[in-house]
């Protein structure tokens, strides 16, 4: 602990957002980069607890007090090595993870927590700028081959770990480019794609091979991959791609789409990719000059709001079924409980309006098969057996005019695909691929990790899943392993 009084002398500070007039005109990241000096000042607020609750709250088990102290002391390279020891992609988590380590910070008892995500991102960026992030090649090759299906954060983390363990790793991705939802689901104003490309280049130089535009189960069968000794193991890392739907009248009207359809199209357009046949027409999925209603108040919904505003929507309204959280943390919450207070929303700042405790009752047609409005009603949340139940309040219904409705209510499990059909794998009651304690599925030689097996979760959980899956695959193939396993062995 470098400065035992820093948390008293220095308030929490995070990077500012770029001015609204400029950021709404482009797709660049919205936050202004912190300087090394400001980052070191924030890192000095860490009190290096005897029990590092932040470490336990992090899915990856990041050594947060260690690299905070190293940054404070100016030992940036050592901080980078300590950070990369537990996290393959800190430049991603530093941008995208909601940082469960922060509400677990000891300072959260009666103060604002250490800005761990800010420090993490800056350490990663300094490491790249200084040339410290190079290929990590194995000392020897194992002669074993592993196929990874899916190139989201879980698949990429597993592929990198297995490549470094000496295996020949091939990643299959059905989309035109690698990255999964990192590339196609997360807008550039949160993650510019050169950041992803920089890490993919490292993986290429380490020896990982990527086959994009190839859907396993369609373009190549699973039996072809497992037959004739082609691969010794397969890892399923396809994500939770089955979106939750809304069964209300008018759901099948034109102009009502899943949020992922909208975000994928928008990301492809920004990246200059061509339209995929079979998708809705571009003008249908564009928010330009339209009244947009987004159903769902989470991060995906906020991404839709900000994307629609950048496309030139005339208005954007977000509906959230939950009540509006308090501006302050509830004092009765356990110390390590997640924040229940509202976080300032970039989407709301940019011009989106959020209606809390509101639920769509039906979508209204315009007479030509297209949506013209959303009938909503206020709801009251009650707990039944510990689970929320939402009761519609009589007399509160109103109509919101809408030309485009986006459903952003999360995902409910693995997508029912030819891949799963060919493997004939059992699914859990909530739609996840069933696996055992060592991430193995019912199919011999086939493992599963990430949202596909865990369910929709954070990017940090996905990376932890990939690292753990790599541990178990390496141990299965070689009889022993030195790869870490953040989710237990």
pTM comes to: 0.94
- pLDDT surpassing 80 at residue 281: no
Residue 204: what pLDDT? Answer: 98
3-state class of 37 per DSSP? helix
Residue 453 near residue 447, CB atoms below 8 Å: no
Lowest mean pLDDT among 110-114, 185-189, 259-263: 110-114
The residue ranking higher by pLDDT, 336 or 62, is: 62
Give the pLDDT score at 337. Answer: 54
What is the pLDDT, as a whole number, of residue 375?
A: 98
Output the pLDDT for position 31.
95
Q: What is the pLDDT of residues 378-390, one digit of tens each?
A: 999 988 888 889 9
Position 476 confidence tier, pLDDT thresholds 50, 70, 90 = very high
- Residue 132, SS3 per DSSP: coil
Banded model confidence at residue 335, pLDDT cuts 50, 70, 90 = low
Which domains does the chain possess? 6-129 (1.10.1060.10), 145-241+412-478 (3.50.50.60), 256-330+343-407 (3.50.50.60)
- Average pLDDT, rounded, for the chain: 92
Largest CA distance in the chain: 71
* pLDDT tens, residue by residue, 401-458: 999 999 999 998 899 999 999 999 999 999 999 999 999 999 999 999 999 999 999 9
Structure confidence by residue, pLDDT tens digits, 282-301: 668 999 999 999 999 999 99
Per-residue pLDDT, 278: 55
User: Rounded CA gap, 175 and 392, in Å?
Assistant: 41
| pLDDT greater than 80 at residue 488 | no
CB distance 371 to 254 below 8 Å: yes
Q: How confident is the model at residue 2 (pLDDT cuts 50, 70, 90)?
A: low
pLDDT at 345 exceeding the cut of 90: no
Residue 82 banded pLDDT, cuts 50, 70, 90: very high
Please answer whether residues 114 and 12 qualify as being in contact, where contact means their C-beta atoms are separated by less than 8 angstroms. yes
pLDDT digits (tens, 9 = 90+) for 238-257: 999 899 999 999 999 999 99
Q: What is the pLDDT of residues 9-34, one digit of tens each?
A: 999 999 999 999 999 999 999 999 89
Phi, psi of 446 (to 5 degrees): -115, 125
The CA distance from 34 to 129, in Å, is 14
Mean pLDDT for the stretch of residues 222-228? 85
């Amino acid at each position: 602990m470098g400065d035992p009084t820093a948390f008293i002398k220095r308030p929490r500070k995070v990077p500012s957002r770029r001015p609204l007039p400029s950021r709404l005109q482009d797709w660049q990241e919205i936050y202004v980069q912190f300087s090394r000096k400001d980052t070191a000042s924030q890192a000095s607020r860490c009190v290096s607890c005897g029990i590092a609750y932040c470490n336990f709250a992090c899915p990856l088990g990041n050594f947060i007090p260690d690299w905070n102290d190293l940054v404070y002391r100016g030992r940036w390279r050592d901080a980078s090595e300590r950070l990369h020891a537990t996290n393959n992609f800190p430049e991603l988590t530093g941008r995208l993870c909601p940082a469960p380590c922060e509400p677990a910070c000891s300072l959260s008892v009666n103060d604002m927590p250490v800005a761990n995500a800010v420090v993490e991102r800056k350490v990663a960026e300094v490491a790249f700028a200084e040339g410290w992030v190079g290929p990590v090649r194995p000392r020897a090759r194992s002669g074993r081959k592993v196929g990874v299906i899916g190139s989201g954060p879980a698949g990429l983390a597993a592929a990198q770990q297995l490549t470094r363990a000496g295996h020949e790793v091939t990643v299959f991705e059905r989309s035109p480019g690698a990255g999964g939802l990192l590339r196609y689901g997360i807008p550039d104003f949160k993650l510019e794609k050169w950041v992803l490309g920089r890490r993919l280049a490292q993986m290429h130089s380490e020896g990982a091979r990527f086959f994009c535009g190839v859907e396993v189960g369609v373009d190549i069968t699973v039996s072809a991959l497992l037959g004739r000794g082609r691969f010794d193991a397969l890892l399923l890392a396809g994500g939770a791609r089955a979106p939750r739907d809304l069964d209300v009248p008018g759901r099948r009207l034109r102009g009502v789409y899943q949020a992922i359809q909208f975000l994928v199209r928008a990301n492809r357009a920004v990246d200059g990719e061509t339209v995929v046949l079979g998708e809705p027409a571009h003008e249908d999925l564009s928010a330009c000059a339209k009244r947009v209603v987004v159903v769902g108040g989470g991060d995906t919904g906020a991404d839709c709001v900000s994307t629609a505003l950048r496309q030139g929507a005339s208005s954007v309204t977000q509906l959230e079924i939950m009540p509006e959280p308090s501006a302050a943390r509830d004092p009765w919450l356990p110390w390590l409980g997640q924040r229940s207070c509202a976080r300032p929303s970039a989407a709301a700042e940019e011009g989106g309006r959020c209606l809390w405790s509101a639920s769509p009752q039906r979508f209204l047609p315009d007479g030509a098969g297209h949506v013209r409005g959303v009938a909503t009603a206020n709801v009251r949340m009650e707990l039944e057996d510990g689970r929320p139940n939402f009761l519609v309040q009589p007399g509160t219904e109103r109509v919101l005019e809408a030309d485009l409705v986006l459903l952003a209510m999360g995902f409910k499990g693995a997508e029912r695909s030819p891949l799963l059909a060919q493997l004939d794998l059992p699914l859990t009651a909530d739609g996840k691929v069933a696996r055992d304690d060592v991430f193995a599925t019912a199919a011999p030689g086939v493992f599963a990790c990430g949202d596909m097996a865990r369910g929709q979760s954070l990017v940090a959980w996905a990376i932890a899943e990939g690292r753990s899956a790599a541990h178990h695959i390496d141990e299965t193939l070689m009889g022993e392993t030195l790869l870490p396993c953040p989710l237990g062995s």
